[in-house]
Amino acid sequence: MVTLKHLAEQLNVSISTVSKALHDSNEISPDTIERVKALAKFLNYKPNQLAVSLKNSKTNTIGVIIPNILNHFFAKALFAIEQEATKQGYNIITCVSNEKHSKEINSLQLLSNGSVDGFIMSIAEETQVANKVDHINAILNQNIPIVLFDRVSDDIDCGKVIIDDFGAAYEATKYLLSEGRKNIILLSRIDELSVGKLRAKGYFKALDDDTTYNEEPNCITISHDESIEERIEALLTKNKKIDGIVAVDNTTGVIALHKALKLNINVPKDLSIIGFSDENVLQFTDPKLSTVSQHTLDIGKASVEMLINKLKDKSSVQNTTKTIKAKLILRGTTK
């Protein structure tokens, strides 16, 4: 590895002269600057980032901790985070918590020792269910900024980027009501997550606000050890009155669609479905699933922006919560 020392020796100048020359310092003569730069280029000199970081107490690296990279939402968020971070001259170190509280603690510990300037994270399911957030607050107390996205907690005082989960589910439900649906169920595999709870609330509120709607709200929650497919197939087989589905997680909407098609239910004539899957590979179905688009790219981008803002001016930047507007995208499974 080529170092400043090498260059200095070759050129018979001091290390600091080389350093200054490479930074275009006006303390150095144009002539020297040129010579230094020429040699640096020739030898393909690149400053050792470790040394720079150590010296400056700044790594230009963001730690990203996501619960599950096989979940398309998080993969997409990571994509956006990586893209925006790169654009702003930051690297990312990625850790996957795998929804485990302990892994989240480890990652946070591991990276908070000078490896990163701050964190962008979405909290693990275990963490959220138990609402054990001491480990996160400990990092904040060390004055390392964190931005939470999507899955957040009221017990953590930091920057947050979320979507309007309540409003999005409210709008989705209202849309089905406006189609004249009389038997709208909610499907959720994320009952225990903050976003799941909020979306359920939106659904309840929408039904509640509609004075002409007579049915009881029907909230189908599916646990992790259940077969989603069997459960949904049974549901649609038994309860023929269902004419609207609001699926508030990643996959149940698509599965419901597949099962409806299999059971020869006419979608969207006799059954409307709205999912939360975002536009992705899942949508090679025919008809295509209508969804609430979560603007995942915007979420990632906004998270990076918020964190970098904080990094640039730690003291004065207030902790804010940014809400990214979700949007109903009507495709083939709604009228």
Partner DNA sequence: CTGAAAGCGCTAACAT
Partner DNA sequence: ATGTTAGCGCTTTCAG
Phi, psi of 152 (to 5 degrees): -125, 180
Look at residue 254 and give the partner it binds from DNA, a second copy, none, a contact being a CB closer than 5 to 8 Å depending on partner kind.
a second copy
CB 299 → a second copy: shortest distance, Å? 15
CB 117 → a second copy: shortest distance, Å? 11
In order of 175, 181, 270, 285, the CA distances from 242 in angstroms are 16, 9, 9, 21
22 binds DNA (CB under 7 A): yes
DSSP string spanning 27-85?
A: TS-HHHHHHHHHHHHHTT----HHHHHHHHT---EEEEEES-TTSHHHHHHHHHHHHHH
Non-local CB neighbours of 103 within 8 Å, separated by 6+ positions: 95, 96, 97, 124
Look at residue 83 and give the partner it binds from DNA, a second copy, none, a contact being a CB closer than 5 to 8 Å depending on partner kind.
a second copy
Contacting range for DNA; rule: CB under 7 A; set: 22-30, 174-182, 203-211, 312-320: 22-30
Contacting range for DNA; rule: CB under 7 A; set: 30-38, 69-77, 133-141, 189-197: 30-38
**Among 255, 250, 323, residue whose Cα is nearest residue 280:** 250
Non-local CB neighbours of 30 within 8 Å, separated by 6+ positions: none
Look at residue 13 and give the partner it binds from DNA, a second copy, none, a contact being a CB closer than 5 to 8 Å depending on partner kind.
DNA
Q: Which of residues 114-133 bind DNA (CB under 7 A)?
A: 114
Residues of the shown chain interacting with a second copy in the complex, contacts defined by CB under 8 A: 1, 46-51, 53-54, 59, 61, 69-70, 72, 75-76, 78-79, 82-83, 86, 91-96, 98, 109-115, 142, 229, 251, 254-255, 258-259, 261-262, 280-282, 284-286
Per DSSP, what are the bridge partners of residue 96?
A: 66
Residues that bind DNA (CB under 7 A): 1, 3-5, 12-17, 19-20, 22-23, 25-32, 47-48, 51-52, 54-57, 114
